Amino acid sequence: MALTPSILVVDDEPQIQRFLKPSLTAAGYYVAQALTAAYALKAIAEREYDLILVDLGLPDLDGKDLIRSIRQKNATAIIVLSAREEENEKIGALDAGADDFVNKPFSIGELLARIRAAMRRGHIEPMIQSRFQIGDVSIDTIRHDVTKAGKPIHLTPKEFDLLVVLARHVGRVVTHRQILKMVWGPAHVEDTQYLRVFIGQLRQKIETTPQAPTLIQTEPGVGYRIADSEIDLDSKIQR
C-alpha cells in the first residue's frame, strides 16, 4: 500500500492554514502546519516531507532565508506562496532554492497542479533523463536529436543546451542568471539580452506560432519556464 504523500505548510496566516489543510487533505495529502520558520525547521528535522509550501513573510525569518536553511540539508521540493509581487523577491526565492512560486491569491486548482508537477519531478530527477517529450517536441540528449511532430529540427549547440536546461526543469521557472550560468558559464550571468536573442531563435524553431509561444513561457523580469500541460490546463479552468 502506497504511503500518503506529505506536505508541510509554512505560513503564519491562520486563514491560509484553515483553507489549505482541508483542501490538501481532500486531495489525498497528509498535511502538517508550521506558523514560524523555527517550528518548520524543527518539523523537518523530525520527519521527511514530500513537499514544503513556504510563505516569504514569516514572523521570525524571511522565507528566502528559511529556504536556504532547508536546502543546506534537504532536497525536498519547495513551492513559495507569497503576496509579494516584486520581481527581485521571486528571483531571490528561486535563487535560494525554491522550485516554483505561486502568487497570492491563488486558485486551489493551480496550486494542486503545481504540487503534482513538483512531486513528479521529485521521482524523476534522481535518475539522469536522456529523453524528453514536451508537447510534440522530442529531445534526445544522447543523440543530440530534436524533432517536432516527428520531423527533425536543426539547433545550434547553444540552442540545444538551452532547450535541455529548460526541459530538465519542466513546469519550473528558471531565472535568467541560472540559465546563463548553466549554458554560458559564470562570466555571462548578466547577459540577459544575449539570452533573449537565443530564446527568440529557439522559439522560431520549436514553437508552432513563435509570436504566441506556448512551450517556452516568459516570467517577466524573472526568467523562463517550459510549460507543463497539466498546470496550464488547470490554470485555464480555474481562472
How confident is the model at residue 3, as a pLDDT?
67
How confident is the model at residue 35, as a pLDDT?
95
pTM for this predicted structure: 0.66
Domain with residue 226: its CATH number is: 1.10.10.10
* Average pLDDT across the chain, whole number: 86
For 144, the domain range is 131-238
Co-location of 23 and 93 in the same domain: yes
Instruction: State how many domains the chain has.
Output: 2
C-alpha dihedral over 30, 35, 38, 44, to 10 degrees? 10
Co-location of 136 and 111 in the same domain: no
90, 44 in Cβ contact below 8 A? no
Cα–Cα distance, 118 to 77 (Å, whole number): 6
The secondary structure of 34-62 as a DSSP string is ESSHHHHHHHHHHS--SEEEEESB-SSSB
pLDDT digits (tens, 9 = 90+) for 143-190: 889 999 999 999 999 999 999 989 888 888 888 988 998 888 888 888
How confident is the model at residue 146, as a pLDDT?
95
Co-location of 110 and 171 in the same domain: no
How confident is the model at residue 21, as a pLDDT?
92
Co-location of 59 and 164 in the same domain: no
